[in-house]
Chains A and B, each alone.
Chain A
Amino acid sequence: MIGFATRRLLQAMIVMLVVAVLAFTMFRFVGDPINQMVGIETSIEEREALRERLGLNDPVAVQFFRFATKAVQFDFGTSYQFRQPVSDLFAKRIPATLELSFTSALFALLVGIPMGIYAGLNRESPISKLFLSLSLVGISLPTFFIGILLIFLFSVTLQWLPSFGRGETVQIGSWWTTGFLTVSGLKALILPSITLGLYQMTLIMRLIRAEMLEVIRTDYIKFARARGLPDRIVNFRHALKNTLVPVITITGLQLGAIIAFATITETVFQWPGMGLLFLQAVQNVDIPIMSAYLLLTAFMFVAINFIVDILYFLIDPRLRVGRP
């Protein structure tokens, strides 16, 4: 067990290193940060001095080493555009992203599971077919398009919901802000979480439907029905329970994806979270923010994979066979 975990940990660290190198070298090609930091009439000498002070004239290897040694101490440097520590900026933006991700995951589960169950139990009904074709739309349309569609329908035409931002937020403690406690905050959550969660919702729905179809064909369901148990008990206590295992696994993994890929949704809805910060950073060639964001995202995925691996190891005895 210890050996397995250590090996996995070592692999994870190598992955992180590779991501860091990739992230760092990639930014050589994004453009020159200096032009975004000063006005156009700033003299060439001043630009050069600035470049020198920021260490942009050093060899890439030196810059990377500086970046990496600081990053392992959770120091991601200072943002070029905001001139504040990147870690502070992230701390301020994380609540918005987490609340949005949490809400959209909840939306995906609360809507996806019932739809999946229904479609699984009544596979021939027209409503099931409607669900299936709708889910195709959800999977095939790009996120930004769905977002803009929703904005034009619910904000511009019907004027029910806001088209951008978080609405009013409430400060909790010194660093968490929440939109859950105000009406405008809750309203502002609706469109972006649908946009962000739509893909996951359709995924869950299709997964549940397939699993349900599988399970209701099994013998123990047939026996349960033969024993005269009511449909409700059979469907929900026996069938549904057994479909949930893969759903939980997928949902856990997808949660990471939701957080990491909230970028587009946040941009469309001007949602002041990490993703928006990242995209603004790309436009302004704010290298410290970009590097830190990619590193954090990679870290999240590596961590989730690591935990999943360990869990599988604990659950599945076959993995232990033949390993010292």
Chain B
Amino acid sequence: MYKKSFVLAAALLAAGTGSAAKAETLKFAFQGALNALDPYSLNETFTLSALGNTYEGLTRRGPDLQIEPALAESWEILEPNRWRFHLREGVKFHNGSDFTAEDVAFSVERVRSEGSDLSTRVPADMKVEIVDDHTVDFVLSSPNPILHYEWDTFYIMDKEWTSENDAVKVTSASDTSVNHAALNANGTGPFKLVSHEPGVKTVYEKFDGWWDEPKHNLDTVEFTPIGSDATRVAALLSGEMDMVYPIPVQDIKRINDNQGTSAMTGPELRTIFLGMDQMRDELLYSDVKGKNPLKDAKVRKAFYQAIDINAIKTKVMRDLATPSAIMISPLLFSRSDEFERHPYDPEAAKALLAEAGYPDGFSIGMDCPNDRYVNDEAICQAVASMLARIGVKVNLNAQPKAKYFARILASGNYDTSFYLLGWTPGSFDSWNVLDNLMNCRDETGKGSPFNNGGFCDPQIDALTDQILVEIDPEKRDALIAEAFKISHDNAYYIPLHQQSLAWGVSDDVNVVQRADNQFKFRFVTKN
């Protein structure tokens, strides 16, 4: 009798603490596949997001994207050029080996080695000095206030495991064989990999030795890529999936109306914008010969003011977009509320065109992807019809992203006059936007490689250099605001909006939707 009640009490206790026998499995689907597991092979949101459940960086980001300590407990800037990271003690990799400073030094070397797609995570000339087993110094050649901004996705690997399994060399995109690290994972994260069949299924299991107190209550996680939108939505509606993403905007109502499922929407960090060729002396695709009308700020502003952003928001995006006045998400820049869009005013736009010498407008070719951003082609069509009202005839060329990017980027010699693009700064910081999109470039893309329109403003370049090394946050933000203001005043770009994330979620699970579109299992609880 005594024995029996003891067992009963134990069972009750077990149930009370939440470690009941019921195994919670999270099943989720994404539109694309998880190909290689090597954390330095591909710098792409979904890959990094998925890997972030098994691997961890020195830092991590919370639900609101704020930087938190992860494998490093704390860090300090000893001198402007020397950062000291205090590593967490007692952290184990999934294979049981200890996490030490050696692993950090090793990962720094590996992430900037040849073949790595994440080499920008650490400055090429940064030196790593191991102080002791759990202290590391990073020595820079010049101050860098955002050194650690991208380190939440710079995942630390186990030196021993990687060396033992002959995986020190990163599996690069051109390799003809995969190394061990591309099909297996050994991180310190809350979940360890059980099986991985690229393009078919990946299974994770809770890691009991995780250093942090788990807030999730999952035991296993199953990921299946489902490419077809209709099937992905059906899998959620039928209850076979707990969470699917992304969901098409036109299915949101259906998912909300269905019992037991709902759509989660929220702003994404990506800014969708229009760019214009301001480099060539004659546009490639236009009936204006001998000169480039887009070099004239009046013409660019006319384009800007001809676009009815609210119509795009309500009609094309079904209200799942936040119109934007700057080239970075307001979530990522403290002074973003100082910016306001040039108002929608077709009459003013017409006047500006006439002033610039095009009273009857002109024709221009526009390039647009049709499978990359939310309703990308529809946005371009709307823009085309709005520009038609001020006399600008747009010849729209919408194509799949595989062809589109080959054409409008450096590899296609920037073969475009007018284009739509989206940008999320990987570092969540404005400097990334300035450095990639807004500095001068030459024909080969040296400078800002994604400044496809090729505009060149030495003032912005100078500011970018200052911003890179300015440590005082307030001064830094003032410099950033100044650079964005120059771009705004000259209408170098036409920012459109931040598109929204749309995830389909079963009522049985609680998930956190981060604005960077990363899905972290550690935030998930299942009822």
Give A92's nearest chain B residue, CB to CB.
Answer: B197
- A38/B199 in contact, CB under 8 A: no
With known contacts A44-B449, A82-B35, A162–B240 Cβ distance under 8 A: yes
Which residues of A lie under 8 Å from residue B444 when comparing CB positions?
44
Interface string of B161-205 (1 = CB under 8 A from A): 000000000011111111000100000000000000111110000
Q: What's the Cα separation between A51 and B174 when bound, in Å?
A: 8
* B338 interfacial by beta-carbon distance below 8 Å: no
- B411/A47 in contact, CB under 8 A: yes
- A residues 1-56 in Cβ contact with B at 8 Å: 29-44, 46-48, 50-51, 53-54
Which residues of B lie under 8 Å from residue A43 when comparing CB positions?
120, 449
Which residues of B lie under 8 Å from residue A280 when comparing CB positions?
33, 199, 227
Q: Which of B9-17, B228-236, B351-359, B512-520 contacts A (4 or more CB under 8 A)?
A: B228-236
- A38/B224 in contact, CB under 8 A: no
Could you tell me the distance in whole angstroms from the C-beta of B468 to the nearest C-beta in chain A?
A: 16
Q: What's the Cα separation between A268 and B118 when bound, in Å?
A: 34
Give A285's nearest chain B residue, CB to CB.
Answer: B402
Which residues of B lie under 8 Å from residue A323 when comparing CB positions?
none
Give A77's nearest chain B residue, CB to CB.
Answer: B176
Q: Among A50, A80, A92, A163, point to the contact of B238 (Cβ < 8 A).
A: A163
Q: What's the Cα separation between A9 and B444 when bound, in Å?
A: 50
Give A37's nearest chain B residue, CB to CB.
Answer: B173
* A78 interfacial by beta-carbon distance below 8 Å: yes
Give A39's nearest chain B residue, CB to CB.
Answer: B43
Which residues of A lie under 8 Å from residue B176 when comparing CB positions?
77-78, 83, 85
Q: What's the Cα separation between A199 and B419 when bound, in Å?
A: 43
Could you tell me the distance in whole angstroms from the C-beta of A206 to the nearest C-beta in chain B?
A: 29
- B residues 77-119 in Cβ contact with A at 8 Å: 117-119
Give B450's nearest chain A residue, CB to CB.
Answer: A40
Q: What's the Cα separation between A32 and B240 when bound, in Å?
A: 36
- B403/A30 in contact, CB under 8 A: yes
* A299 interfacial by beta-carbon distance below 8 Å: no
- A151/B234 in contact, CB under 8 A: yes
Q: What's the Cα separation between A47 and B237 when bound, in Å?
A: 41
Give B230's nearest chain A residue, CB to CB.
Answer: A148
Q: Among A50, A151, A267, A284, point to the contact of B174 (Cβ < 8 A).
A: A50
Instruction: Give the number of chain B interface residues (Cβ < 8 Å).
Output: 56
Q: Among B227, B239, B401, B412, point to the contact of A159 (Cβ < 8 A).
A: B239
With known contacts A37-B173, A44-B444, A83-B178, A270–B405 Cβ distance under 8 A: no
Q: Among B175, B177, B224, B238, point to the contact of A155 (Cβ < 8 A).
A: B238
- A159/B449 in contact, CB under 8 A: no
Q: What's the Cα separation between A214 and B117 when bound, in Å?
A: 68
- A83/B238 in contact, CB under 8 A: no
- A32/B231 in contact, CB under 8 A: no
Q: What's the Cα separation between A155 and B178 when bound, in Å?
A: 38
* B225 interfacial by beta-carbon distance below 8 Å: yes
Could you tell me the distance in whole angstroms from the C-beta of A69 to the nearest C-beta in chain B?
A: 16
- B240/A155 in contact, CB under 8 A: yes
* B274 interfacial by beta-carbon distance below 8 Å: no
With known contacts A44-B410, A82-B198, A270-B231, A36–B171 Cβ distance under 8 A: no
Give the interface of B toward A (CB within 8 A): 29, 33, 35-36, 42-44, 117-120, 171-178, 182, 197-201, 224-228, 230-231, 234-235, 237-240, 400-406, 409-412, 426, 436, 444-446, 449-450
Not counting A83-B176, A285-B402, a sample of 5 additional A-B residue pairs whose C-beta atoms are within 8 angstroms of each other reads: A31-B401, A51-B411, A152-B234, A165-B201, A283-B402
Listed by A's residue number, 22 A-B pairs whose Cβ atoms lie within 8 Å are A31-B404, A35-B401, A35-B406, A38-B42, A38-B43, A43-B120, A44-B444, A78-B175, A78-B176, A83-B36, A85-B177, A148-B231, A156-B237, A156-B238, A159-B239, A164-B224, A164-B234, A270-B225, A270-B231, A272-B197, A272-B199, A276-B199
